[in-house]
């Protein structure tokens, strides 16, 4: 597995474990957003629910799963640069970090899967660590731009990605204004706060539960699993054992019943001539 990412990870001696330091900024941020999300029942409307579902899919499936993950992290297919930038903007709006930060951390996860020091969200450190504590106790090498950028060097050379990685939070301003103009505070609470919380935990489930529960199709050198309900809430990412066995393959669900909504979007792009060099599973290459 490490060999697949060797171009990004030069050999080095084992790092000395650094003491954990609590990030109060992270605690306050996550507490505020979760608290605002709890207000959702008092701001309910059917249209607000619809907006939340739409944005959960658009920002999650298109922005994170298709964009940050399969396109930018693994380069499992190619799109024109203008479209790549547009998809990266969608991913950055999901409020899961800038693109270089996200991609660098994910590449480290694959290069050193479940290593307690080198994998940012190693499942061997327990459910809560892999789910969210790795952000509450941030390690310098994973959160300092001067350090993590070396794991996504092609993006660190791109002025657009450097800007987006630094200022991605600003995208919440036009999103919030647009939602308020469309439906007032109801749309803001449901479309921004509740959507962010649900999408966070959906994504974090891939780091936590799919390294603990589910079935294994491939005997990989880690504990990655295929978990049906995680695949539903993450638009196909829950077929995690398939992904760890063949990380550069664009399709996560291989069997007919392994539903992969993000793969459907890639197929649409391919049918339009916008997605090329799509890497398929070995058994179904065409």
Alpha carbon separation from 39 to 34, 105, 190, 248 (Å, rounded):
9, 32, 9, 40
Q: Is the pLDDT of residue 252 over 60?
A: yes
pLDDT for res 7: 43
Alpha carbon separation from 129 to 121, 126, 269, 280 (Å, rounded):
7, 5, 36, 33
Burial zone of 256 (CB within 10 Å; 0-12 exposed, 13-18 middle, 19+ buried): exposed
Which of 202, 205, 204, 102 lies closest to 155 in space, CA to CA?
A: 102
Which of 231, 271, 277, 224 lies closest to 246 in space, CA to CA?
A: 224
- CA–CA separation, 105 and 99 (whole Å): 10
pLDDT tens for residues 31-62? 999 999 999 999 999 999 999 999 999 999 99
| Confidence class for position 18, pLDDT limits 50, 70, 90 | low
In DSSP terms, 78 is beta-bridged to 276
Name the DSSP letter for residue 32. Answer: H
pLDDT for res 15: 52
The predicted model gives 221-237 an average pLDDT of 96
Which of 221, 237, 220 lies closest to 229 in space, CA to CA?
A: 237
Name the DSSP letter for residue 150. Answer: G
In this structure, how many other beta carbons lie within 10 angstroms of the beta carbon of residue 117?
15
| Confidence class for position 19, pLDDT limits 50, 70, 90 | confident
Q: Is 100 in contact with 165 (CB distance < 8 Å)?
A: yes
pLDDT for res 284: 52
pLDDT for res 234: 97
Which of 80, 66, 60 lies closest to 200 in space, CA to CA?
A: 60
pLDDT for res 285: 46
Which residues make Cβ contacts (< 8 Å) with residue 141, sequence separation at least 6? 15, 147, 148
Higher pLDDT, 58 or 16: 58
pLDDT tens for residues 184-212? 999 999 999 999 999 999 999 999 999 99
Q: Is 129 in contact with 122 (CB distance < 8 Å)?
A: yes
pLDDT tens for residues 80-127? 999 999 999 999 999 999 999 999 999 999 999 999 999 999 999 999
Q: Whole-prediction pTM value?
A: 0.91
């Amino acid at each position: 597995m490490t060999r697949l990412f060797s171009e990004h990870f030069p050999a080095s001696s084992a790092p000395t474990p650094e003491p954990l330091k609590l990030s109060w900024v992270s605690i306050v941020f996550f507490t505020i957003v979760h608290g605002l999300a709890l207000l959702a029942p008092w701001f309910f409307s059917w249209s607000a629910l619809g907006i939340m579902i739409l944005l959960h899919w658009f920002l999650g499936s298109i922005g994170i799963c298709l964009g940050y993950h399969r396109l930018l992290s693994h380069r499992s297919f190619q799109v024109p640069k203008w479209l790549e930038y547009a998809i990266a903007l969608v991913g950055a709006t999901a409020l899961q970090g800038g693109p270089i930060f996200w991609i660098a951390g994910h590449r480290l996860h694959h290069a050193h899967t479940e290593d307690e020091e080198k994998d940012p969200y190693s499942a061997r450190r327990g459910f809560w660590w892999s789910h969210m504590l790795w952000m509450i106790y941030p390690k310098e090498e994973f959160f300092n731009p001067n350090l993590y950028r070396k794991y996504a060097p092609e993006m660190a050379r791109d002025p657009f990605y450097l800007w987006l990685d630094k200022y991605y939070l600003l995208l919440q301003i036009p999103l919030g204004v647009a939602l308020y103009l469309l439906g007032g505070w109801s749309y803001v609470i449901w479309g921004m706060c509740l959507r962010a919380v649900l999408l966070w935990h959906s994504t974090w489930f891939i780091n936590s539960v799919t390294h603990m529960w589910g079935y294994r199709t491939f005997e990989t050198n880690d504990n990655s699993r295929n978990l049906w309900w995680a695949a539903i809430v993450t638009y196909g990412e829950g077929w995690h054992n398939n992904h760890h066995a063949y990380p550069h393959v664009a399709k996560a669900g291989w069997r007919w019943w392994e539903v992969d909504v993000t793969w459907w979007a890639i197929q649409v792009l391919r049918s339009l001539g916008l997605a090329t060099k799509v890497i398929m599973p070995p058994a179904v290459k065409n």
